[in-house]
Amino acid sequence: MLGQRVLTAVVLLALLVPALFAPQPWSFYVLTLLLIGAAGWEWGRLNRGGMGSSLGMGLLLALACVAALAAGWPQQPPVLAWWLAALVWVLGGAVALRTGPTLWPQLPRLARLVLGLAALWAAWLAMSHARSVGINFILSVFCLVWVADIAAYFGGRRFGKRKLAPSISPGKSWEGVYSGMAGVFVLTLAWRAMESRVATDSLSLFGQLLGQLGLLGGLAALAFLAGISVVGDLVESLVKRAAGAKDSSRLLPGHGGVLDRIDALLPVFPLALALLSL
């Protein structure tokens, strides 16, 4: 199992890194379109769609992303998209986490499908725009989510006492969330120190938030993004529990499905851009 997990991670990195650092963003667009289409297929399956209808949802989502690409939105995106995504994630996420897995299957299936596909579309558009801003910027968003997740895991194991959402993910604790935020603060200091010494193609998310919102405002925004990454993880776990599924699929051996790997990223990218538009 571990060898399978490591091999899959190596293959994913071998695809992602060249696409991310390519001089032109088209290889990145193509790779992420394939992944987001697969995530759309998984979302259909988790919400009781058949194979044919789920494949259709994945294709529809990919075509919606291609339409946004043709409209030039990765370079000049509609800011309203970020705020609509923020509204859905903050309010919808709060309701979902408060009620637990029991309420989700009671919602109309069409509403569940539309909400998920819209969230995936907004995340793809935000990620594509982040790539157009610059490598340093998009890497800083990725690393914020990864460091928050790692710090939350180890902090939760060491200090975790108060359960965050026991009906959804019994292993997560409030202490883990606070550890994730602390990890992001340390990452911010390290990244800003690096930026002051090394020339980069763009200003990082950390530099932009601190520059636009000031020290306290920027740190508050970064803590919020660390917290919302946990919401993304919990919402996907909630949907899987409601569907009685352990993983979103088996597309990635040893890792589960695409949604299992990108759940924490989904709210962070559009909400980061919403905060930067203030």
The pLDDT value given to residue 92: 83
Q: Which helix (H) or strand (E) holds 84?
A: helix 79-87
**Residue written as token pair 């930067």:** 276
Q: Which two tokens stand for residue 88?
A: 């859905």
53: nearest Cα among 41, 66, 63, 39 = 41
Cα-based angle 202, 218, 147 (whole degrees, multiple of 5): 70
Q: How far apart are the first and last CA of the chain?
A: 45
Q: What does the alpha-carbon distance between residue 45 and residue 20 come to, in Å, rounded to a whole number?
A: 29
Distances (CA, A) of 249 to 241, 253, 256: 13, 9, 6
Q: How many domains does the chain have?
A: 1
Q: Which two tokens stand for residue 32?
A: 């992420």
Burial 38-66 (b: 16+ CB within 10 A, else e): bbbbbbbbbbebeeeebbebbebbbebbe
Q: Which two tokens stand for residue 186?
A: 């340390």
29: nearest Cα among 121, 120, 127 = 127
Q: What does the alpha-carbon distance between residue 86 and residue 103 come to, in Å, rounded to a whole number?
A: 21
Helix/strand/coil for 24: coil
Q: What does the alpha-carbon distance between residue 65 and residue 182 come to, in Å, rounded to a whole number?
A: 35
**Cβ atoms < 10 Å from Cβ of 14:** 10
The pLDDT value given to residue 248: 93
Q: What does the alpha-carbon distance between residue 205 and residue 184 come to, in Å, rounded to a whole number?
A: 12
Helix/strand/coil for 264: coil
pLDDT along the chain (278 residues), means of 10: 72 89 93 96 92 94 96 94 94 83 88 94 97 96 96 93 89 95 97 94 96 95 97 94 91 87 96 95
The pLDDT value given to residue 66: 96
Q: What does the alpha-carbon distance between residue 226 and residue 218 come to, in Å, rounded to a whole number?
A: 12
The pLDDT value given to residue 2: 55
Q: Domain of residue 7: give its range.
A: 2-276
Helix/strand/coil for 166: coil
- Per the confidence metrics, is the pTM higher than 0.85? yes
